[in-house]
Amino acid sequence: MEIPELRIGNLVADLPIVQGGMGVRVSRAPLAAAVANEGGIGTISTLGLADLDLRGEEFYTKSKEALTNEIRYAKSLTKGHIAVNIMGVIANANDVIRTSVEEGLKIIVYGAGLPMKLPEIVPEKDVCLLPIVSSPRAATLILRYWMNKYKRFPAGFILEGPLAGGHLGFSHEELSRIEDFKLSKLLQQVLEAIRPFEAKIGQKIPVITAGGVYTGKDIADNLLAGASGVQMGTRFVCTDECSVSDAFKQAYLDAKKEDIGIIHSPVGLPGRAIRNKFILKVEEDGKQKVRCNYQCLTVCKLEEAHYCIANVLLNSYAGDVDNGLIFCGQNAYRVDKIVSVKELIGELKTEMQHSLQSALVEAIPVAEPV
């Protein structure tokens, strides 16, 4: 059985694999381009690309400049599909979105908040808008609002379940009963919720599943269950092309299952990370003195924040993991080597093909003996 393509809007990717956006500076041009060169969709995270010591307005101007350079660099490395990941809670979200569109990118992935007004910011119909959702309710709200107000619908949804890395779209209470929010369950709920909208527009709205997808078999299982593709983050961190420090990658290689847990992020959302020295110290010491030059997150409550999330993510990126936050998916403890993106995707393709083939053989009815 052939590996299916991933169609979103007018775009067709050879592989149904999206490399998830990972901030701060985790998914940059080299990683995104390498994934795009293998036929998937590579995503540049727009978070924290400028020097974090800059102040106020200058930070925003330099952020725009840095993103422009990152997109141009990615485009110099690939002719494949490049997306950008935007966190709705960043203060300069609209600016970053417009910069990406002006630089010619055709895929905008929007998470950490409901992108109700996104079609106003991106009226260009040839740009695929992909909201990240974690519930059928969120998908329905977006569809209803966009179709009524803008006569527009998302080119697809990224459905992120509770095993994903980074900030999560679930409350701490929901995460305490994670079985109720299994990705496979959420997928069926979302597929059912969007069906009436698909019937109305006479078009399929692809759902791309994320969170805990680790092997090619996992990808096949998601496709067979109705997903149009998968988004993966964790597995792409330990690749040669990922820009993080060796110490960051080593923390993944060293992590045991019990080291991975949920943290309270200053963004106001739970996040999944390695419970390293830094996290243990924060839990022991409580609130630190937080210096802020530019309030990069609209939701960051400085007086309550235990640390500046931009700074501590940057520390890990740069190699100071003992003073840094390391986001990771629940499966990070399974990573045991650093490979090239080509090797990783090759392995995923072989496993995926094998699983799809087995499913096809199992589905063929056995002839009754006459």
**Closest to ligand FMN by CB, 79 or 256:** 256
Q: What letter does residue 11 receive in the DSSP assignment?
A: E
**Beta strand pairing status for 207-210 and 229-232?**
parallel
Look at residue 22 and give its three-state secondary structure: coil
Cα–Cα distance measured from residue 170 to residue 153, given in angstroms and rounded to the nearest whole number: 24
How near is the Cβ of 7 to ligand FMN at its closest, in Å? 20
**Shortest reach from residue 109's CB to ligand FMN, in Å:** 7
Of residues 197 and 239, the one with the C-beta less far from ligand FMN: 239
**Residues of the shown chain interacting with ligand FMN in the complex, contacts defined by CB under 6 A:** 20-23, 26, 45, 47, 85, 87, 111, 132, 160, 163-166, 210-213, 231-234, 237, 327-329, 331
Q: What is the DSSP code string of 36-83?
A: HHTTSEEEEE-TT-S-TT--HHHHHHHHHHHHHHHHHHHHHH-SSEEE
Q: Give residues with Cβ within 8 angstroms of 338, minimum separation 6.
A: 238, 239, 240, 249, 253
Return the number of the residue (316 or 355) whose C-beta is nearest ligand FMN: 316
The phi, psi pair for 202, rounded to 5°, reads: 65, 35
- Rounded Cα gap, residues 6 and 178, in angstroms: 29
From the CB of 368, what's the least distance to ligand FMN, in Å? 43
Distances (CA, A) of 330 to 234, 253, 282, 316: 8, 13, 21, 18
> At its nearest, how many Å lie between ligand FMN and the CB of residue 22?
3
In the bound state with ligand FMN, the residue whose beta carbon lies nearer, of 197 and 327, is 327
Q: Collapse the DSSP code of 351 into the 3-class scheme (helix H, G, I; strand E, B; otherwise coil) and give the result.
A: helix
Q: Smallest distance, Å, CB 106 to ligand FMN? A: 18
Minimum CB separation from ligand FMN for residue 336, in Å? 16
**Nearest distance, CB of residue 212 and ligand FMN, angstroms:** 5
Instruction: Pick the closer one to ligand FMN by CB: 168 or 197.
Output: 168
CB 235 within 8 A of CB 26: no
- CB nearer to ligand FMN: pick between 26 and 194: 26
- Output 40 or 233, the one with its CB closest to ligand FMN: 233
Question: Cβ closer to ligand FMN: 74 or 197?
Answer: 74
Peptide bond into 24 cis (omega under 30): yes
**Which amino acid is present at 279?**
I
Q: How far is the CB of 366 from ligand FMN (least distance, A)?
A: 37
- Of 185 and 200, which has the nearer Cβ to ligand FMN? 185
Structural tokens at position 28: 């940059």
Range list of H helices, the chain: 29-37, 56-77, 93-102, 118-121, 136-150, 172-175, 183-201, 216-224, 234-237, 246-254, 277-285, 309-318, 341-363
Q: Which residues contact 280 (CB under 8 A, 6 or more apart)?
A: none
| Closest to 85 measured CA to CA, from 126, 32, 16 | 32
Closest CB 329 distance from ligand FMN, rounded Å: 3
